[in-house]
């Protein structure tokens, strides 16, 4: 029986242990490596070339989305399955547009997680039922191709810092501007990206390729 070689990337050891225990009970799945941050995930994926990499979204040093993009740009033959607690549509679309094969929530049953790994290994898509609904809703909302107004250089500076989890005050200090000015830039960013929150703005920018890095923490709305 062919063994499916899997890598797990999550910054919580207890979560990795739980995922490993679930997957290895399947009998035909072997966990070949564990990574505790995004950069280590890249290194271990390149070293072990697993059949499937199970990735969290929010990790130190590099997010799951960054890891997915890196794998798609540099390696072939690695299935990518996101396992996360986030079910926000911007996260979902950012992950799928980056090139993931599947998106499963941490509330899924052990059987669903095992099946998702098998599906990704077989070259199929693996989506949680609620995620499928969000994707379909997003598709129907996009009645025509949407273009977004380009951000100014200073707005991009603010957006990159927001993506790293900086508060308005911290952004102001980094850019040597006032809190009020930061608020004004964020308002323009939200308007241009048709976003209602920092999370949505950041994930939309990630999906558009405008932001290449995001912090381990979700943007603070």
Kindly list the distances between the CA atom of residue 111 and the CA atoms of 16, 19, 100, 117, 133, in Å, as whole numbers in the listed order.
Answer: 17, 12, 20, 10, 20
Domain count, the chain: 2
User: Which residues share a beta bridge with 34?
Assistant: 8
43 inside domain? yes
* 128 and 171 belong to one structural domain: no
What is the average pLDDT score of the chain? 83
Q: Return the SS3 of 86.
A: coil
Element (H, E) at 96: helix 89-98
Contact 57, 106 (CB under 8 A): no
Mean pLDDT of 111-115: 94
Examine residue 117 and state whether it is found in any structural domain, yes or no: yes
CATH of the domain at 64: 3.40.50.2300
pLDDT class of 117 with cuts at 50, 70, 90 = very high
Q: Are 105 and 84 in contact (CB under 8 A)?
A: yes
The answer to the question of residue 172 being in a domain is: yes
Res. 213: pLDDT tops 60:
no
Q: Identify the pLDDT of residue 214.
A: 42
Last residue of a domain, one of 114, 141, 168: 141
Q: Within this chain, do residues 112 and 41 fall inside the same structural domain, yes or no?
A: yes
Alpha-carbon gap, residue 55 to 194, rounded angstroms: 28
Q: Is 132 found in the same domain as 157? A: no
Can you spell out the DSSP letters for 149-213? PPPPHHHHHHHHHHHTT--HHHHHHHHT--HHHHHHHHHHHHHHHT-SSHHHHHHHHHHHTS---
Q: How far is CA 218 from the centre of its chain?
A: 11
Tell me the per-residue pLDDT of 142-193, one tens digit each, with 9 for 90 and over.
544 467 888 999 999 999 888 877 778 889 999 999 988 998 999 999 888 8
36 domain-assigned: yes
Res 206: pLDDT: 75
Residue 217 within any structural domain of the chain: no
21 in a structural domain: yes
| Owning domain of residue 163 | 153-208
pLDDT at 87: 75
Q: What is the CA radius of gyration of the chain?
A: 18
Kindly state whether residue 37 falls inside one of the protein's structural domains.
yes
pLDDT tens track for 51-62: 999 999 989 999
Mean pLDDT of 120-124: 85
In a domain, 107, yes or no: yes
pLDDT given at position 16: 95
Average pLDDT of span 116-137: 75
Distance from C-alpha of 220 to C-alpha of 11, rounded to nearest angstrom: 19
- Identify the pLDDT of residue 141: 54
């Amino acid at each position: 029986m062919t063994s499916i070689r899997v890598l797990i990337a999550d910054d919580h050891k207890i979560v990795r242990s739980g995922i490993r225990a679930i997957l290895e009970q399947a009998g035909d799945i072997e966990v070949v490596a564990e990574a505790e941050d995004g950069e280590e995930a890249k290194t271990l994926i390149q070293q072990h070339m697993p059949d499937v990499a199970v990735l969290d979204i929010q990790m130190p040093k590099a997010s799951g989305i960054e890891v997915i993009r890196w794998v798609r740009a540099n390696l072939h033959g690695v299935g990518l399955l996101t396992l996360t607690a986030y079910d926000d549509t911007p996260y979902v679309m950012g992950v799928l547009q980056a090139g993931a094969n599947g998106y499963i929530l941490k509330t899924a049953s052990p059987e669903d997680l095992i099946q998702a790994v098998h599906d990704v290994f077989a070259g199929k898509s693996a989506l949680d039922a609620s995620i499928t609904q969000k994707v379909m809703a997003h598709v129907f909302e996009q009645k025509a191709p949407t273009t977004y107004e380009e951000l100014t250089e200073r707005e991009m500076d603010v957006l990159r810092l927001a993506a790293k989890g900086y508060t308005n005050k911290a952004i102001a200090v980094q850019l040597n501007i006032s809190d009020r000015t930061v608020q004004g830039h964020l308002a323009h960013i939200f308007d241009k990206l048709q976003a209602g929150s920092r999370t949505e703005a950041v994930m939309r920018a990630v999906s558009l390729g405008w932001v290449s890095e995001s912090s381990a923490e979700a943007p603070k709305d």
